[in-house]
Amino acid sequence: MTITRIKDLHAHEGEEVTIQGWVYKRTGKGKLSFLLLRDGSGFAQCVAFKGDLDEEVFETIKRIPQESSVVITGTVRKDDRAPGLPGGYELGISALSIIQSAADDYPMALKEHGADFALDNRHFWLRMPSQWAILRIRATVISAIREWLDDNGFTLVDTPILTPAAAEGTTTLFETEYFDEGKAYLAQTGQLYNEANIFAFGKVYCFGPTFRAEKSKTRRHLTEFWMVEPEMAFCDLDELMNVEEQFVSHIVKKVLEKNRPELESLGRDISALEKVNGEFPRITYDKAVEMIKEIQAQTEDPEEKAFLEIEWGMDFGARHETVLTQQFDKPLFVYGYPTQVKAFYMEPMPGRPEACKSVDLLAPEGYGEITGGSERMSDPDLLLQRLHEHGLPEESFKWYLELRKYGSVPHSGFGMGIERTVAWICGTDHIRETIPFPRTIKRVYP
């Protein structure tokens, strides 16, 4: 028996096909019953009419519990009334068999749920169209990332997850016993290893899970999240921004190509995403501080005014990033951050040691930082000094310092947080929905 997938129904108009999946929703209207069936590739409405079916079959359909697994045969019809993802086509049921009739106490009613309940039931929540759409877009984002990097001369070189020390001093790390070698830590970045790898491969990237034991409880933080980190030899800050621009544009373009029904089902403003191409605006940190001060001066609300307080040298908070990005309709580069708020390995701005060649890319519509990168420091003496200033153990970084001795070149790289990027593209307000099983400070279940 050939099984047709719901995403392909449109190509079978007028034909009798068989699909298999799960009953997402059932409604009835006397001699008609509607099943909204989910098969992983989409959602499609199947219609049973009492007059077309045996009494017994029709009664079965009328009573089939939500989430039952079924095989349905029927004729594909085009009908604008048919809901689904993608909608517009439905199946007139001629036969149905039940693989398993689900228990009638399925906990996830088809309605809005609170965050706690939804997360406790993440294993079921995944079945709902909104979550299905977001995670499908996540899959496209990941494949677009790899596609662009692979097609542009980057080599995938995996970096370790168990590491001997922090890549930056102030961050809290997840710690584990490592046999007789003392402590090991879950990686918070693969970047330092990337810097070793460029000397063999020129342009590299690593892509994997990253761990932060920060006690951050916000809609932008997870303790386990995914990050892609490209790193390039012979690349300065300007070229880095050129690369990021093309990279992000490609990702958005792919999602627009492949996931339009998903975006529409999420209610995403697609025209906003369509603007994401070409050159992105680039402003210095100094300019950004000025802009924030101007906005703050015009703000009436005292609470908001307090949040927007800024002086040169401070890192941006979420509110700062929000008001900045609202001035533009494309992602925004802010470069040249104060040295003191950034990691130890960033190249100083020429003649301005208090600022460094770092760049963050801030997503529009208030979504904030989605990439952070920099040109890396080339002076080995200064690097050692910074290491000490950050209180990092020199022993653990011996290999890293040695990289500057043998064929050092200007090089740059950045990291992109997958969940923040997906949240922006989907218009989701919390990144916990953009990863299948989110890990937060208060949740490791399910």
Listed residue (314, 336, 333) closest to 324, CA to CA: 333
Q: Interface with RNA includes 405 (CB under 7 A)? A: no
Q: Interface with RNA includes 415 (CB under 7 A)? A: yes
Listed residue (183, 19, 24, 181) closest to 93, CA to CA: 19
Other C-beta atoms lying within 10 Å of the C-beta of residue 37: 24
Report, in Å, the least distance between residue 71 CB and RNA: 21
Q: Which of 38, 122, 136, 221 binds RNA (CB under 7 A)?
A: 221
Residues 120-139 within binding reach of RNA (CB under 7 A): none
Q: Measured between alpha carbons, how far is 431 from 160 in angstroms, rounded to an integer?
A: 25
Residues 295-324 within binding reach of RNA (CB under 7 A): 307, 315, 317-319
Q: 257 or 304, CB closer to RNA?
A: 304
- The neighbouring-strand residues paired with 46 are 35, 91
Report yes or no: 316 and 289 within 8 Å, Cβ to Cβ: no
Residue type for 9, please? L
Q: Interface with RNA includes 336 (CB under 7 A)? A: no
Q: Which of 177, 179, 217, 298 binds RNA (CB under 7 A)?
A: 217
Q: Interface with RNA includes 265 (CB under 7 A)? A: no
15-to-2, 47, 77, 157, 169 alpha-carbon distances in Å: 13, 15, 8, 48, 64
Q: Which of 343, 355, 377, 425 binds RNA (CB under 7 A)?
A: 343
Q: Which stretch binds RNA (CB under 7 A): 136-144, 242-250, 256-264, 408-416?
A: 408-416
Residue type for 8, please? D
Q: Which of 177, 181, 218, 351 binds RNA (CB under 7 A)?
A: 218
Q: Interface with RNA includes 104 (CB under 7 A)? A: yes
Residues 178-197 within binding reach of RNA (CB under 7 A): 188-189, 191
Residue 366: which region, alpha, beta or left (left: phi > 0; alpha: psi -120 to 50)? left
Q: Interface with RNA includes 163 (CB under 7 A)? A: no
Report yes or no: 44 and 86 within 8 Å, Cβ to Cβ: no
Q: x/- binding map, residues 80-99, to RNA, per CB under 7 A?
A: -xxx------x-x-------
Q: Interface with RNA includes 374 (CB under 7 A)? A: yes
Q: 123 or 275, CB closer to RNA?
A: 123
User: Could you give the count of Cα atoms lying within 13 Å of 430 in the half-sphere of its Cβ?
Assistant: 16
Q: Interface with RNA includes 117 (CB under 7 A)? A: yes
Q: Measured between alpha carbons, how far is 369 from 431 in angstroms, rounded to an integer?
A: 13
Residue type for 197, please? N
82-to-3, 42, 45, 76 alpha-carbon distances in Å: 21, 13, 6, 11
Pairing label, strands 69-78, 16-29: antiparallel
Q: Interface with RNA includes 110 (CB under 7 A)? A: yes
Q: 28 or 257, CB closer to RNA?
A: 28
Residues 59-78 within binding reach of RNA (CB under 7 A): 63, 65-66, 77
Q: Interface with RNA includes 165 (CB under 7 A)? A: no
Residues 15-34 within binding reach of RNA (CB under 7 A): 25, 27-32, 34
